[in-house]
Amino acid sequence: MTRFDAMPARRMDHVAAFHVMDIQRRAFELEAQGRSIIHMEIGQPDFGAPEPVRARAAELVAGHRLGYTDTLGLPALREAIARHYRIVDDLDIDPARVMVTTGATGALMTLLGCYTNPGDEYLMPDPCYPCNRHLAALFGGRARLLPTSADTRFQLCADDVRVAWGPHTRGVIIASPSNPTGTCIARDELAAIVQTVRERGGITIIDEIYLGLSHGERQRSALDLGEDVMVVNSFSKYFAMTGWRLGWLVAPPEAMRPLERFAQNAAICPPALSQHAAIAAFDDASIALCESRRRIFTERRDLLLPALRAAGFGIPVTPDGAFYLYVDCGPLATTASALATRLLEEAGVAATPGIDFGDHDAERYMRFAHTCPAAEITRAVAAIGRIL
Amino acid sequence: MTRFDAMPARRMDHVAAFHVMDIQRRAFELEAQGRSIIHMEIGQPDFGAPEPVRARAAELVAGHRLGYTDTLGLPALREAIARHYRIVDDLDIDPARVMVTTGATGALMTLLGCYTNPGDEYLMPDPCYPCNRHLAALFGGRARLLPTSADTRFQLCADDVRVAWGPHTRGVIIASPSNPTGTCIARDELAAIVQTVRERGGITIIDEIYLGLSHGERQRSALDLGEDVMVVNSFSKYFAMTGWRLGWLVAPPEAMRPLERFAQNAAICPPALSQHAAIAAFDDASIALCESRRRIFTERRDLLLPALRAAGFGIPVTPDGAFYLYVDCGPLATTASALATRLLEEAGVAATPGIDFGDHDAERYMRFAHTCPAAEITRAVAAIGRIL
């Protein structure tokens, strides 16, 4: 026991480990021991960056100095992002409202750091992406998790927001498609939530990092619900560029200067090589590739979902997008955590227990990411079937 | 006026813009208008990454998936960093105490976020690196700037720390060599400060990002002053990899798990390509190149220093390292800020006014970065001479 054991700041009591990273580490340990592990724990496409991005990156490392960029990101990349909204959503977004960030994580941190006072509360659905609540906690804020169920496809309703809104509520954070459930929020409901928050002078943050990965018809960005909506996105999922650590946010014009001031200190700038190369992510060839991958994720959903149902898991909602299945372990185990450990240790299948995503029914659910080829999915389900 | 104008969190009142980024932007604007600007404002080597790093990066973008890495960084990179301490400082550092971060910025943010409670105070010399005080402010902490002067080579003394230490003091942050002054802290004084902080149960954070760039004999890392010393370093300066956004920290063993928990949420992991490629930064060929560049920075100091003196600037201390000259504008102008604007607009020379670095005598000093070739330095000084 040294002075450092007792020393972490009080906020760290509310910053839980990101369990999936620990599960991944255990999976790597088992692999180092010679075990074969099928990775369905982490939200990471098994594809790499599109070829045009790689080609551009290879050119850049040879001849380019790769210094600091503008804190808000390369102007050409901000313009490419704005143009993408025009092409896919028919939306006119001023590039001045686009800020490039170090992953969507950097975007969420910048937004929450810039707008959260100690004691502020954000309404979030339970289950939701775990870092949202921890990032709020970094700045003295707290998540107020509103329990959801399969009845609302695990998304919030405007009524939930109205009832839960209190004197300390600062805003609402919603992901559509959601991690861990893959479900989208209904358009009307989202518009009603944005209006509810607007009337109360709050902030709506929409995480759209899985928006490009819709199963079937593409969902529209929430940016057309008003200039006051703050949107977070990423190159990690649709463009399969996780390790490149690149994302973006779109915010109201008046928010850009404080956000920039925050990031000048907290980031200086996002990775330069990733930024330069990401411009090529919007090339026709890249988009065509990403669209074909999107269809592959849908095929995998359609393989994994019935197979897990046949193995005994409950799957109350069919995901609209992303690459996750949120499955009910109730019929199979007392706790999802214990089952996740068994699956990893005995079947060699890594999946993420519900406790990463909230409190409500957290020990009942588990998340499978179908981010591995169909043959591995088939092997995984067979291995699970053998031990259950 | 919308609700967002009044909405930034209170902490943002204490998070000033990083002025140098604004100056850089103005310099870019002038260049876009066809003006020729000599960049001496930003702390960025004019060299790129060493060739072995570029070569490794080119291989990686072709064939590697570049997914998330472990939050603490690639094990091979953490080992390479530990090995480097053994080679250059004859220090045995357990790789388990090394955490790879998204730039030194990520390292400082992780340390301060993890150990700062609202109201905590950090003692820092004035002048110092501006983001240190703003990063503390992000987490409700505050910098207590202790005025320094040329008498102590702009570094703190243990007596300063003893006198200033109060009930809310959490620790001390020191950079050696310092930005903006390029001066090192005397070994005995640093040891006395570490001991003073230790006796008070506090934290000593030493920024060693310019340690590799000593003029003349290399300074030793502060890590040999005890396992409780926290050190921050970067690939940006000695290895000239600014845009790659990669740094590291070394911390006590008991601190690693909270630091990891913070970073799992706030970063997920540092850029993967940068991490893989940075392993090659420790190759013999890379180190040989970086050492030759170190000597070039010394030659530039020896060119710029007498030239600026001849132009009328006061230069009270000769830097021990880094690539900065901190010059006294008192003989030439009422405020360094106004002079910096004149130099940029009229002479086409971008330099950073002292207000970026603190309050004490801030309008008297200006920082020149000798991060451009000798010919440009000569041109810059001639242009300054013409307008003064």
Nearest to A235 by CA among A71, A95, A103: A103
Determine whether the interchain pair A262/B64 forms a contact, defined as Cβ–Cβ distance below 8 Å. no
Distance in angstroms (rounded) separating the CA atoms of residues B237 and B47: 10
Residue B67: list chain A partners with CB under 8 A.
44, 242-243
How far from the centroid of its chain's Cα atoms is residue A240's Cα?
13
Tokens of B135: 């990063």
Task: Decide if B99 contacts B73 (C-beta within 8 A).
Answer: yes
Q: CA of A184: how far to CAs of A188, A232, B223, in Å?
A: 12, 15, 51
- Looking at residue B64, what is its pLDDT? 80
Mutation site, A61, A168, A198, interface B, largest B CB count within 10 A? A61
Minimum Cα–Cα distance from A275: chain B residue: B243
Cβ-in-10-Å burial (0-12, 13-18, 19+) of B301 comes to buried
Q: Summarize pLDDT for B184-222 with one digit per residue, the tens.
A: 999 999 999 999 999 999 999 999 999 999 998 888 999
Alpha helices in A205-358 (DSSP H): 256-266, 272-278, 284-310, 336-342
Instruction: Please indicate, yes or no, whether the overall pTM of this predicted structure exceeds 0.80.
Output: yes
- What CATH superfamily classification does B10-48+286-387 receive? Aspartate Aminotransferase, domain 1 (3.90.1150.10)
Residue A273 has its nearest CB partner, among B21, B103, B244, at B244
Q: Would you call A9 and B116 a contact, using CB atoms and an 8 Å cutoff?
A: yes
Question: Spelled out in words, what is the top-level CATH class assigned to the domain B67-283?
Answer: alpha beta
Determine the Cα–Cα distance for residues B301 and B189; give it in Å rounded to an integer. 26
CB atoms within 10 A of CB B125: 29
H helices within B253-373, ranges in order? Answer: 256-266, 272-278, 284-310, 336-342
Q: Which of B300, B239, B230, B246 is nearest to B77 (CA)?
A: B246
Q: What is the pLDDT of residue A218?
A: 84
CA separation, residue A387 to residues A16, A329, A342, A377, B332 (Å): 31, 14, 9, 16, 81
* B138: helix, strand or coil: helix
At A225 the pLDDT is 97
Q: Which of A68, A114, A261 lies closest to B17 in CB terms?
A: A261
Name the DSSP letter for residue B47.
S
Phi, psi values for residue A143, rounded to 5°: -85, 135
Scanning A311-335, the segments in alpha helix (DSSP H) are: none
Cα–Cα distance measured from residue B103 to residue B101, given in angstroms and rounded to the nearest whole number: 6
pLDDT confidence of residue A318 = 97
- CB-nearest to B5 from A241, A254, A273 is A254
Residue B21 is predicted with a pLDDT of 77
Predicted local confidence at residue A188, as pLDDT: 96
B245:A102 CB<8 A: yes
Tens of pLDDT, residues A117-162: 999 999 999 999 999 999 999 999 999 999 999 999 999 999 999 9
Q: List CB contacts (< 8 A) between A9 and chain B.
A: 113-117, 120, 139
Sign of CA dihedral B282, B285, B289, B295: positive
Low-confidence ranges of chain B (pLDDT < 70): 1
pLDDT at res. A377:
98
| Distance (Å) from the alpha carbon of A6 to chain B's nearest alpha carbon | 10
Distance from the Cα of B289 to chain A's closest Cα (Å) equals 16
The residue ranges of chain A whose pLDDT is under 70 are: 1
The backbone torsions φ and ψ at residue B98, rounded to the nearest 5 degrees and listed phi first, read -100, 130
pLDDT of B127 reads 97
For residue A28, the distance in angstroms to the closest alpha carbon of chain B comes to: 10
CATH architecture of A67-282: 3-Layer(aba) Sandwich (3.40)
- pLDDT at site A219: 87
Cβ of B271 within 8 Å of Cβ of A66? The answer is: no
All structural domains of chain A with their residue ranges: 10-48+286-387, 67-282
Tokens of A348: 């060699």
Q: How far is A331 from chain B (nearest CA, A)?
A: 32
pLDDT at A297: 98
Residue B207 to residue B178: CA distance in whole angstroms: 8
Distance from CA of B115 to the nearest CA of A (A): 5
Is A113–B9 a contact, with Cβ atoms under 8 angstroms apart?
yes
Enumerate residues 6+ apart whose C-beta is below 8 A from A320: A177, A182, A183, A184, A214, A215, A216, A219
